[in-house]
Amino acid sequence: MSQRKDISYSGYLQLDKILQAQQPLSTAHDEMLFVIQHQTSELWMKLAIHELTATCRLIAADDLQPAFKTLARVSRILEQLNSAWDVLRTMTPSEYTEFRGLLGQSSGFQSWQYRVIEFLVGNKNAAMIHAHQDDKAVVERLEAVRLAPSIYDLTIQLLHRRGLGIDKATLERDISVPHLPNDSVLNAWSSVYRDPTRYWELYELAEKLVDFEDYFRRWRFNHVTTVERIIGFKRGTGGSSGVSYLRKMLDVVLFPELWQVRTQL
């Protein structure tokens, strides 16, 4: 940058655009917090998508060492997203009601980047695309991710390539829907965990995936408690059932056999 006189810190980061992007609809003091918390979360999600996409590509290519780095980074990103809830929770119900009515039908439920993350890690629900039906480009992107193998689909294929027999039905299943627990996958992970020295790369990949899901579960839990703390059991601004829907999401398991194997060992 010292050699490029035309580039400044502000210009490189396009701070003029970023810092002008906060346009509260009211004079309520806490609306600025609400806007910035969601904007920064979307930026972190953009980076998470960047890293998860790279991870999928690396696993597909049997290049696991750099995949460990990208997965670890995504877990740290989720840690940042978890910390953001702590800041938002400083807003009380009284303060939120000062501007909530101005939000119309806008809702975090409509975050297409969050939906991309869900699809990349295997929680694929085609009905969720309906919320974006007015944006053709977003619909096309979501459909492309839904129809592509998730990070866990690619991991299961890797297990098979490494000689840990996965049954044919699982390898040829419809990858546009969520993976369901499978005995052959559980047995493969059992072999890995019973002999980690022999399967060290797969063992490390397994733990990195568990780390990711652990942080993702915390993110969901913090989302539920934050929403309940601020609006109770009111319906969400976009028409979702609010806390009731979010609590159901706590039961979603992304990598079931990696949790089941702990009981089996």
Residues that constitute the known binding site for substrate: 34-38, 96, 100, 237
In angstroms, rounded to a whole number, what is the distance separating the alpha carbons of residues 98 and 248?
29
Helix ranges, 64-111 (H): 64-88, 93-97
- CA dihedral of 36, 42, 45, 49, whole degrees rounded to 10: -150
Alpha-carbon distances of 155 from 106, 115, 130, 160, 219, rounded to whole Å = 36, 21, 29, 9, 23
Helix ranges, the chain (H): 9-13, 15-19, 31-60, 64-88, 93-97, 112-120, 136-147, 151-161, 168-171, 183-194, 200-231, 243-249, 256-264
| Binding region | 34-38, 96, 100, 223, 237
- 14: Cα within 13 Å, side-chain hemisphere: 3
112 three-state secondary structure? helix
Instruction: With residue 125 as reference, give the H or E element that holds it.
Output: none
In angstroms, rounded to a whole number, what is the distance separating the alpha carbons of residues 145 and 119?
6
In angstroms, rounded to a whole number, what is the distance separating the alpha carbons of residues 55 and 71?
7
| Binding region for heme | 223
